[in-house]
Amino acid sequence: MASKNRTVIIGIIAVICVLAAGLFLKQRMDSGEQRQQQIAVEKRTKEFRAEAEKARKEQEERAEKRREELKNRPPFRPDTTREIVFGNMDDGKEYALSSFKGKLLVVNLWGMWCKPCIRELPRFMAAQKFFQGAPVAFVAVSMDNTGQASVRRFLKRHNIELTPLYMDTQRSIRHRENMMALPVTWIIGPDGKLLRRVEQPADWGSKESQQFILFYLKQTGLLKK
């Protein structure tokens, strides 16, 4: 009886040893596969990082080249008004700068990507309200090419009331003006000639800006001195 029990115990131990050995071998195999997978992932990660770094450097080189091109390009002078056309998104019509002849024209060029433009727009519209009825037209033209729906959503999100909404629909401005330098404001006389080009944000609602506009209204003879 004791011999039989001993045999059973030895058999159980043998089975346990076989199972343990199998489990050990399986773990070793799994560990080896995991290590191979880890090595493959690390290799691919290094390749991705190298590709991303290469793409970043190429992008920086292109951006620097573009900045140099824009830096060396003379600013556009809108003296040939027949070439400048922009769309009124409220009435669906297109207007040339010559459409405003006989008035002092203040054209503000802005874009959704330009943070200073967003701060400037409400002040620009405040100037429009202040000079309502005067022989001066304020036109804020969006340089965005994403469509009017996205521009309107953007303005609504920033609580900016821009009426009417003008856009560079024919791209007659963006192909001539330096888009890296926005905001830009043109002051154009009643004869269509450029009087002043403001290349920085301005507080158009301030008294100084009001005097600035009044100066050109008087200088062009639209208001008596």
pLDDT digits (tens, 9 = 90+) for 26-55: 666 666 666 777 777 777 777 767 877 887
Residue 169 has a pLDDT of 86
pLDDT band with cut points at 50, 70 and 90 for residue 80? very low
| Dihedral angle computed from the Cα positions of residues 72, 67, 113 and 170, in that order, rounded to the nearest 10 degrees | 50
Mean local confidence (pLDDT), 62-69: 63
Burial class (CB in 10 A: 0-12, 13-18, 19+), 174: middle
Average pLDDT on 149-166 reads: 91
φ, ψ for residue 217, nearest 5 deg:
-65, -40
| Tokens found for residue 210 | 């009001």
Fold of 81-219: Glutaredoxin (3.40.30)
In this structure, are strands 136-142 and 104-110 parallel, antiparallel, or unpaired?
parallel
pLDDT at 146 over 50: yes
Residue 213 has a pLDDT of 94
- pLDDT for residue 149: 93
Edge-to-edge strands, sheet with 93-96: 93-96, 85-88, 166-167, 136-142, 104-110, 184-188, 194-198
Highest mean pLDDT, choosing among 3-7, 71-75, 150-154: 150-154
Confidence at residue 203, expressed as pLDDT on a 0 to 100 scale: 92
Percent of the chain at pLDDT exceeding 70: 72
Residue 183 has pLDDT above 60, yes or no: yes
Alpha carbon distance 143, 110 (integer Å): 6
pLDDT band at 190 (very low <50, low <70, confident <90, very high): very high
pLDDT of residue 172: 76
| Among 173, 175, 181, CA closest to 139 | 173
Tokens 């920085």 belong to residue: 200
Threshold 0.85, pTM exceeds? no
Look at residue 9 and tell me whether its pLDDT is greater than 70: no
225 or 57, higher pLDDT: 57
Of 159, 154, 130, 132, the residue nearest 142 (C-alpha): 154
Q: Identify the weakest region by mean pLDDT among 13-17, 94-98, 163-167.
A: 13-17
Q: Going by DSSP bridges, is the β-strand pair 85-88/166-167 parallel, antiparallel, or unpaired? A: antiparallel
| Residue 184 or residue 23, greater confidence | 184
